[in-house]
């Protein structure tokens, strides 16, 4: 069986057979999408327009906001259009594009969060060497390498996922999610995809361990800061990052460790919304609420 000829398109999950409920689904997703775009665009604008935020930490934060915009734009508009037009179809190559972009951006997200942990470690534990280690040239090279490696991983993941023959084209999810696509495979075991998943799991575990160790050393250094104001300043930049890392890790576990059923339930649908839509919305909110500099710049932009 040739998967490109036998499966010319996939059928995504239908929220409801009632068109009015489909319309409700469209408006709810539209609200999520507009809120996510607005929150991330505000962070991007604040960092781009204010010279005081032109530092490595905010460069990484800007990249995170761009990635969050990308991740929701890959999956939400298609779901909204399907609900509005009362259809379920996504083309084969549209599904391939969704998987490639979503996986690449997710890998990029976690990589940037790992680099941000190192940035905070150097800034707090070795402040005298910070400008030498985290200079603009080094940070730009890091960001470029993060994007390149993430897109290479996304290409590898996508090619291994779609290297199989599909015995069905019904995806029990509102976007082309890898575990649900693998359930459609005619073969019971995909060695290429298993290898990619193991490599990805090892990379994520390594990054998560690095983040935890970095923050262990950061909190040890923070406890040694004599002034209360100094401790609060250090923690104000660390706590939002830890919240974002925890959210991304927990939601990622939901995505790939939960068993994907052949008969989808509303609870499974709700969990999917939780890990695919909420992190891109809450990441900028967490950072802007906890970061005094971003709050100040945003308030200035709103008054202008």
pLDDT of residue 4: 43
Question: 143 is written with which tokens?
Answer: 């960001």
pLDDT of residue 2: 44
Residue-wise pLDDT tens digits, 109-166: 889 989 988 988 888 888 888 888 888 888 999 999 999 999 999 999 899 888 888 8
Residue 269, pLDDT > 90, answer no
Determine the average pLDDT of the residues in 98-115.
92
Residue-wise pLDDT tens digits, 215-230: 888 888 877 777 676 6
Determine the average pLDDT of the residues in 74-91.
90
The total number of residues written for the chain in this structure = 304
Assign 266 a pLDDT band (cuts: 50, 70, 90). Answer: low
pLDDT of residue 177: 86
Instruction: Output Rg (C-alpha) for the chain, integer angstroms.
Output: 21
Tell me, what CATH number does 160's domain have?
1.20.1070.10
Domain extent at residue 159: 3-303
pLDDT of residue 229: 67
How many domains does the chain fold into? 1
Residue 267, pLDDT > 70, answer no
């Amino acid at each position: 069986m040739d998967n490109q000829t036998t499966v010319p398109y996939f059928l995504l999950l239908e929220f409801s057979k009632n068109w009015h409920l489909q319309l409700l689904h469209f408006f709810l997703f539209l609200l999520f999408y507009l809120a996510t775009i607005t929150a991330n665009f505000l962070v991007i604008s604040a960092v781009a327009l204010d010279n005081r935020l032109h530092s490595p930490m905010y460069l990484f934060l800007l990249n995170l906001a761009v990635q969050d915009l990308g991740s929701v734009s890959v999956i939400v508009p298609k779901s909204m259009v399907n609900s509005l037009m009362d259809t379920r179809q996504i083309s084969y190559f549209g599904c391939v594009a969704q998987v490639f972009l979503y996986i690449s951006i997710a890998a990029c997200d976690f990589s940037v969060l790992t680099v941000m942990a190192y940035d905070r470690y150097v800034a707090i534990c070795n402040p005298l060497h910070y400008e030498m280690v985290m200079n603009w040239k080094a940070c730009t090279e890091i960001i470029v390498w993060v994007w390149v490696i993430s897109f290479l991983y996304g290409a590898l993941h996508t090619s291994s996922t779609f290297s199989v023959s599909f015995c069905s084209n019904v995806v029990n999810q509102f976007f082309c999610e890898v575990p649900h696509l693998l359930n459609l495979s005619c073969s019971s075991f995909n060695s290429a995809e298993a290898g990619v998943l193991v490599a990805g799991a090892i990379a994520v575990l390594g990054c998560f361990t690095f983040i935890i160790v970095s923050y262990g050393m950061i909190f040890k250094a923070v406890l040694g800061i004599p002034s209360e104001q100094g401790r609060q300043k250090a923690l104000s930049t660390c706590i939002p990052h830890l919240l974002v890392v925890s959210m991304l890790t927990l939601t990622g576990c939901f995505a790939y460790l939960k068993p994907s059923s052949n008969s989808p339930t509303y609870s499974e649908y709700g969990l999917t919304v939780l890990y695919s839509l909420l992190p891109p919305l809450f990441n900028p909110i967490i950072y802007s609420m906890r970061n005094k500099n971003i709050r100040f710049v945003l308030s200035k932009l709103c008054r202008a």
